[in-house]
Amino acid sequence: MPLHIHPTIEATLHDLADYFVGKAREAITARGRFVVALSGGSSPKKLYELLASSSYRDQIAWPEVYFFFGDERNVPRTDPQSNYLMAKTALLAPLGIADDHIFAFRTELAPTAAAAAYTTEINAFFSPKPARFDLVLLGLGDNSHTASLFPHTEVLRATTAEVQAVFVPEVDMYRLTFTAPLINQARAVAFLVFGADKAAAVRRVRQGPRNAEEFPAQLIMPSAGERRWFLDAPAAADLAG
Ligand SMILES: O=C1O[C@H](COP(=O)(O)O)[C@@H](O)[C@H](O)[C@H]1O
């Protein structure tokens, strides 16, 4: 079922954590490793803490897991806005994940150089095959952005599976982000969204008229993979049907 709606945030997080475990086991059995791109922002921290908790930490062979980031703020890794810092604190450090299994953006470089370096790193990791993540975790902003695909930015028009730097006037900073074609090569994509302030965005992205310039998350449609939404009831409240 592509739409997972739960009465509480906690139930939503547990469902997504179970899904994460299932995808990890499936990938490790089939290919010997699980390659995941983490999301940032305000929503996923609780998910990462749950995965690192005693309820989940023994359910996955963590040494077989490789961590990338679907987007990043162009800030040092020590900055409170850093997606890497959040994931490191909530998930990677508590699980003792080895540094060579964590692929962070090189934000000490200029934005375009950092994006190009990350594209190179991703392609080298998957070489000789095309980059295909087992799972890409995503959030959704109340303006319908996902990853750092913000409304009316140039990166929305990307046709290549790569990482790009984009200046986002509404947050007044550079972001580094997977393009939609790169996300859409994934085997699975999971959105985690909660809260009433996201309800309109969820409705517009799922049921609104097609307008990816306004609602960039509409671009996310894996070409040969699955797309699932994990929502709490307030985030799903405006959906019809
Ligand atoms: O996919 C993502 O979505 C968020 C928006 O989520 P929010 O919880 O911060 O509203 C985005 O900013 C984040 O970096 C990204 O990975």
ipTM of this complex: 0.95
Give the span between the Cα atoms of 203 and 236, in whole angstroms: 8
Tell me the per-residue pLDDT of 70-109, one tens digit each, with 9 for 90 and over: 999 999 999 999 999 999 999 999 999 999 999 999 999 9
Query: Please, what sign has the CA dihedral across residues 224, 6, 148, 117?
Result: negative
CB-neighbour burial class of residue 14 (10 A; exposed 0-12, middle 13-18, buried 19+): middle
Q: Which atom of ligand 1 is nearest to the CA of 69?
A: 16
241: confidence class by pLDDT, cuts 50, 70, 90: confident
Q: Compute the mean pLDDT over every residue in the chain, rounded to the nearest whole number.
A: 97
Q: Where are the domains of the chain?
A: 3-236
Nearest residue (by CA) to ligand 1, atom 15, is 147
- Find out whether the beta carbon of 70 lies less than 6 Å from any atom of ligand 1: yes
CA 54 to chain centroid: 23
42: confidence class by pLDDT, cuts 50, 70, 90: confident
Tell me the per-residue pLDDT of 222-236, one tens digit each, with 9 for 90 and over: 999 999 999 999 999
- Find out whether the beta carbon of 43 lies less than 6 Å from any atom of ligand 1: yes
Q: Which atom of ligand 1 is nearest to the CA of 193?
A: 8
- Find out whether the beta carbon of 141 lies less than 6 Å from any atom of ligand 1: yes
Residue from 47, 45, 65, 66 nearest 55 by CA: 47
- Largest pairwise CA distance in the chain: 47
Residue from 50, 38, 40 nearest 10 by CA: 50
Q: Give all strands (DSSP E) within 49-150, no chain letters.
A: 65-69, 71-73, 135-138
Q: Which atom of ligand 1 is nearest to the CA of 198?
A: 10
CATH 3.40.50.1360 describes domain 3-236: yes
Which long-range CB contacts under 8 A does 9-17 form with residues at least 24 apart? 9/46, 9/194, 9/232, 11/232, 12/192, 12/194, 12/230, 12/231, 12/232, 13/46, 13/47, 13/50, 13/192, 14/50, 15/230, 16/47, 16/190, 16/192, 16/230, 17/47, 17/50, 17/51, 17/55, 17/56
Tokens 């200029």 identify what position? 110
DSSP letters spanning 186-206: SSEEEEEE-SGGGHHHHHHHH
- Find out whether the beta carbon of 42 lies less than 6 Å from any atom of ligand 1: yes
Residue from 117, 132, 122, 134 nearest 65 by CA: 134
- Does residue 1 carry a pLDDT above 80? no
Give the Å distance between the CA of 197 and the centre of ligand 1: 13
Give the span between the Cα atoms of 139 and 41, in whole angstroms: 8
Give the per-residue pLDDT at 41: 85
Tell me the per-residue pLDDT of 185-206, one tens digit each, with 9 for 90 and over: 999 999 999 999 999 999 999 9
Nearest residue (by CA) to ligand 1, atom 3, is 139
Nearest residue (by CA) to ligand 1, atom 9, is 41
Give the span between the Cα atoms of 206 and 225, in whole angstroms: 17
- Find out whether the beta carbon of 41 lies less than 6 Å from any atom of ligand 1: yes
Nearest residue (by CA) to ligand 1, atom 12, is 41
Total-model pTM: 0.98
- Find out whether the beta carbon of 147 lies less than 6 Å from any atom of ligand 1: yes
- Find out whether the beta carbon of 138 lies less than 6 Å from any atom of ligand 1: yes
